[in-house]
Amino acid sequence: MRSERTIEDLTSAQQEQLTALLAELGTFPTAETLVRCQEALNLDPDMEFDPAQADKAMAGAWAYDRMLLYLDRLRSLNEERMQLGNAIRELKQHPYPTTKAEVPKAAWAKVMAPHLAGRQEVVLNFFCVSVQHIRSLLKVVAEAVGYEIPPADLSYLDEFRHLRNHFEHWYDRLPGKTNEVGLMTKTMTTDEYRVRGGLRSDDKDRIIVIEPKKSGPVTHIVDVTNEGVARIEKIARETSAKVNELAIKHVRAYFIAHPENTPAPEDIRQDSLINVAKKEPELNPTKSQTEEGSE
């Protein structure tokens, strides 16, 4: 025996009204879907207004809008990362001078390669900062409808935190500091003092980060590559789809239980939320992010 009503239990008119309402809610981008679904519920005169639920919907909408901005910034940082990587490789391949006239260009290449590598480190830092913001904001978006982002996805995003930390705790990682092992390799004997900084990468061009811990150094693999950006976009895209689905599913379940108060589609507000576009911004990688090359 069924304990819950289904849409088939409604009259034809009620089914038509609810189907039209859900279709209307399905036309909005994610941020507005969260708010419009909550407003649709509030149109029921028998439903007591819940400020906490309204706040949760608006927080999710605001967070989603900002997440898209960080995602867009991530794409531009990835483009800059690739450009710098290509320039560094070209400089490193500069031929050894064979004539006096070739010396200035060779010297320039030798000086500029590490300089651009330093610029690339700055880009990598903000790349990882952007990923951390994307993770935090996606959590707020998901919580608006009670969606649980898969643990494997959250763990993947968390790995970028280790590279961010690598660049942000200078006071503890420079030569002679407690955790210098996290930033550099130092060789020191009675005859030699040599420090080698920079980052290593694995066979997939993912960055290897050493996290200093009391129990000993821990290695992390951070996917700052085109494939990494694609996976981050996939996580955002899947979260968006699930949030839309659950927000509308909640409205559907409510008005199946209370069909007499189902609002008409024209009762749903059409004005855009502040800073939220009516057209969903692109969540797929641009052509430049699908091209070969990483550093």
pLDDT digits (tens, 9 = 90+) for 61-95: 999 999 999 999 999 999 999 999 999 999 999 88
Query: For residue 288, what pLDDT is reported?
Result: 44
184 against 135, higher pLDDT = 135
How far apart (Å, rounded) are the C-alpha atoms in residues 134 and 209?
Answer: 21
Q: What is the mean pLDDT of residues 25-51?
A: 91
Token readout for 59 is: 């927080």
Q: Is the pLDDT score of 186 beyond 60?
A: yes
Give 212-254 pLDDT, tens digit per residue: 788 888 899 999 999 999 999 999 999 999 999 999 999 999 9
98-99-104 Cα angle (round to 5): 100
Q: Is residue 181 part of a domain?
A: no
How many other C-beta atoms can be found within 10 angstroms of the C-beta atom of residue 268?
18
Q: Is the pLDDT score of 44 beyond 90?
A: no
Q: Determine whether 255 is exposed, middle or buried from the number of CB atoms within 10 Å of its CB (0-12, 13-18, 19+).
A: buried
Query: For residue 67, what pLDDT is reported?
Result: 96
Query: For residue 282, what pLDDT is reported?
Result: 57
Q: Is residue 249 part of a domain?
A: yes
Token readout for 53 is: 């639920």
Give 274-294 pLDDT, tens digit per residue: 544 444 455 655 444 444 444
Q: Which of 2-16, 74-88, 130-144, 251-265 has the lowest mean pLDDT?
A: 2-16
Domain span including residue 17: 7-166+226-290
Starting at the edge strand that comes first in sequence, how are the strands of the sheet with 200-201 ordered?
Answer: 200-201, 207-211, 218-222
Query: For residue 271, what pLDDT is reported?
Result: 76
Task: Please list the alpha-helical segments (H only) found in the chain.
Answer: 12-25, 30-42, 51-92, 103-143, 151-168, 226-257
Query: For residue 158, what pLDDT is reported?
Result: 94
Q: Is residue 22 part of a domain?
A: yes
In the chain, the number of structural domains is: 1
pLDDT band at 193 (very low <50, low <70, confident <90, very high): confident
Q: Is residue 60 part of a domain?
A: yes
Q: Is residue 96 part of a domain?
A: yes
Query: For residue 3, what pLDDT is reported?
Result: 56
How far apart (Å, rounded) are the C-alpha atoms in residues 18 and 35?
Answer: 18
Q: Is residue 198 part of a domain?
A: no
Q: Is residue 116 part of a domain?
A: yes
Mean pLDDT of the chain: 87
Q: Is residue 202 part of a domain?
A: no
In percent, how much of the chain has pLDDT > 70? 88
Query: For residue 295, what pLDDT is reported?
Result: 41
Give 6-30 pLDDT, tens digit per residue: 888 889 999 999 999 999 999 999 9
Q: What is the mean pLDDT of residues 160-179?
A: 80
Query: For residue 243, what pLDDT is reported?
Result: 97
Buried b (16+ CB within 10 A) or exposed e, 72-103: ebbbebbbbbbbbbebbeebeebeeeeeeeee
Q: What is the mean pLDDT of residues 193-210?
A: 83
